């Protein structure tokens, strides 16, 4: 759904403040590092966004590919990480041209909800081709059908309260309620999957998957799955 890519390429207000944005990317980086099994690992962050803490992830692995569809975001990634020889920035189209069986870990966090089910299947096929036989796909921040927007708000306020940006979060929620995000969320919605449904979808794409104990990021109401090649 290109509208969401355009949204993430715009000057959006998804983060309530600089502190919120910085903490978000620090926590995502910490959680991605938790899934890296070797310091030599080749890691791909699929639709990585601004990836402000990617240098930390790169320190914990051999090579980090940052793939991002939004051209403006990608331009900033190229500029930000040009001095880091462990980091390479790619478009999603570039991924089709990369060597098969070359990646140890693919992370796709907080992305599937913005894709149609068919787009997600296409992404799974591209990722499966790239993964080494021993490689893993970590699919994070999957929304469940039975958990509504109120839980997203509760999770954000708890995160903000713990980290001292509650006032900014409340202002942020008020402006988000009036923003393009709210309009898009109401107009095209976010894709949601039950636990068994996502395991089935991954299985149909050639993966054997299970749900991880904890979600990537701050929202415990959403789910993370770890998938490997099913042989």
Residue 175 CB partners (closer than 8 Å, separation 6+): 13
Task: Work out whether 114 is an interface residue with ligand SAM (CB under 6 A).
Answer: yes
Task: Work out whether 69 is an interface residue with ligand SAM (CB under 6 A).
Answer: yes
Burial 36-45 (b: 16+ CB within 10 A, else e): beeeebbbbb
Asked whether 68 and 49 are in contact (CB, 8 A), the reply is yes
What residues pair up with 66 in beta bridges, in sequence order? Answer: 45, 89
What is the rounded distance in angstroms from the CA atom of residue 126 to the CA atom of residue 120?
10
Task: Work out whether 159 is an interface residue with ligand SAM (CB under 6 A).
Answer: no
- Closest-approach residue to ligand SAM (CB): 49
Task: Select 110 or 215, whichever has its Cβ closest to ligand SAM.
Answer: 110
Q: Which stretch binds ligand SAM (CB under 6 A): 42-50, 163-171, 207-215, 219-227?
A: 42-50
Kindly tell me which residue out of 65, 66, 110, 143 binds ligand SAM, with binding defined by CB under 6 A: 110
CB of 133 to ligand SAM, least distance (A): 25
Task: Select 70 or 209, whichever has its Cβ closest to ligand SAM.
Answer: 70
Restricting to residues 186-205, which ones interact with ligand SAM according to CB under 6 A?
none
Task: Work out whether 1 is an interface residue with ligand SAM (CB under 6 A).
Answer: yes
CB of 123 to ligand SAM, least distance (A): 7
What is the Cα 59 distance to its own chain's centre?
19
Q: Which stretch binds ligand SAM (CB under 6 A): 1-9, 75-83, 157-165, 175-183?
A: 1-9
Task: Work out whether 28 is an interface residue with ligand SAM (CB under 6 A).
Answer: yes
Rg (CA), the chain: 17
Task: Work out whether 65 is an interface residue with ligand SAM (CB under 6 A).
Answer: no
Task: Work out whether 109 is an interface residue with ligand SAM (CB under 6 A).
Answer: yes
Asked whether 192 and 144 are in contact (CB, 8 A), the reply is yes
Among 6, 201, 199, 205, smallest CA distance to 114 is for 6
Task: Select 52 or 202, whichever has its Cβ closest to ligand SAM.
Answer: 52
Task: Work out whether 68 is an interface residue with ligand SAM (CB under 6 A).
Answer: yes
E strands, the chain, are 42-46, 63-67, 87-90, 103-109, 131-142, 207-211, 223-229
- Burial degree of 139 (CB within 10 A; 0-12, 13-18, 19+): buried
For ligand SAM, the binding residues (CB under 6 A) are 1, 4-5, 8, 28, 47-49, 68-70, 109-111, 114-115, 119
């Amino acid at each position: 759904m290109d509208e969401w890519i355009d949204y993430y390429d715009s000057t959006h207000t998804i983060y309530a403040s600089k502190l919120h944005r910085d903490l978000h990317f620090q926590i995502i980086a910490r959680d991605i590092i938790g899934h890296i099994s070797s310091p030599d690992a080749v890691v791909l962050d699929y639709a990585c966004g601004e990836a402000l803490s990617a240098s930390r992830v790169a320190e914990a692995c051999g090579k980090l590919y940052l793939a991002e569809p939004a051209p403006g975001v990608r331009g900033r990634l190229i500029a930000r990480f040009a001095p880091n020889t462990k980091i390479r920035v790619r478009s999603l189209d570039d991924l089709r041209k990369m060597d098969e069986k070359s990646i140890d870990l693919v992370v796709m966090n907080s992305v599937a909800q913005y894709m149609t089910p068919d787009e997600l299947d296409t992404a799974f096929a591209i990722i499966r081709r790239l993964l080494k036989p021993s490689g893993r796909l970590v699919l994070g921040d999957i929304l469940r059908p039975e958990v509504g927007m109120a839980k997203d708000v509760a999770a954000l306020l708890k995160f903000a309260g713990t980290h001292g940006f509650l006032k900014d979060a409340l202002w942020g929620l008020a402006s988000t309620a009036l923003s393009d995000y709210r309009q898009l969320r109401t107009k095209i919605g976010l894709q949601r999957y039950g636990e068994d449904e996502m395991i089935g979808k991954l299985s149909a794409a050639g993966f054997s998957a299970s749900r991880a104990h904890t979600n990537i990021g701050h929202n415990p109401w959403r789910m993370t799955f770890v998938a490997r090649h099913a042989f």
